[in-house]
Amino acid sequence: MRLYNRYIHGETEQVYEEIYALGNIAFSSANLPDIEKVLMETFHRVSFNLNVIYKELKAINYCFTANTMYNFQKPLHPPLPNTNILLNQLDLSVKPFGFVPLSLKYFYKIVGGVNFVWDYETNEHLMWQMADPIQITSLDGLIENVTNGYWQEEMQQYLDDAIFESAFLELSADDLHKDNISGGQSYAIQITSEPSIDSNFWNEPNRTTFINYLRICFQNCGFPGILRPDINNDYQAFFDKVKPQLKPI
């Protein structure tokens, strides 16, 4: 069966392992249309899952950001009307360093943005400690960052000083910042030297790809750090309600 057919019949992780193994061949005319169908299905599932989690969090009075002035502050927002224009701008901005992975482009085309970080300015008593709620910045927020006149210079300096092996796009605060604790580097997706289906999601504790990071998030109902053994988070009732509703990616 083709990759898409296998994906919708349950071979979600196996299909992506095979896609990654293809390397540049994934972009051939024989493979890319099928792979794009897989990406489209994946990110429709991501959108579905986020909406389920959002609904259930609202039902337990989870404290989302109360007064949102910008898209990146909103718990969820759909794809922006000018998404394609913004993605073209993003491609131009990163062109000196490489390519934006297709996975991130499909996230912005189909999902939009997510921010399940607790609003500690409204309520300093977090429901779950160090739970690392999922957060992927809005596309317009990302564009503002990479077109501010300093981003390319900063990335080039990182590369010249061999601090990082490639340029990157910051997508999320780290787990400490999300809990209003002085933290470390933002979670960031790697810009690849060649066109890529997906790429590494840096600084996040699981050291994995962007799509697998999303998979881990849904395995933990949107909170990949919630199971930390050193913190006693009371999550079981929420998991029992939410997890059966989520689709595998």
pLDDT in tens, 185-225: 999 999 999 999 999 999 999 999 999 999 999 999 999 99
Torsion of Cα atoms, 138 then 143 then 148 then 150, to 10°: 100
Tally of helices (H runs) and strands (E runs) in the chain: 10, 7
**Burial level of 155, CB count in 10 A (0-12/13-18/19+)?**
buried
| pLDDT tens per residue, range 101-134 | 999 999 999 999 999 999 999 999 999 999 999 9
The whole-angstrom separation of Cα 60 and Cα 106 is 30
The whole-number pLDDT of residue 206 equals 93
CA gap 154, 184 in Å, rounded: 17
Alpha carbons 47 and 113: distance in angstroms, whole number: 9
Three-state SS at 202: strand
Residue written as token pair 């799509």? 211
pLDDT at 113: 97
* Separation CA 125–CA 118 (nearest Å): 9
Total-model pTM = 0.96
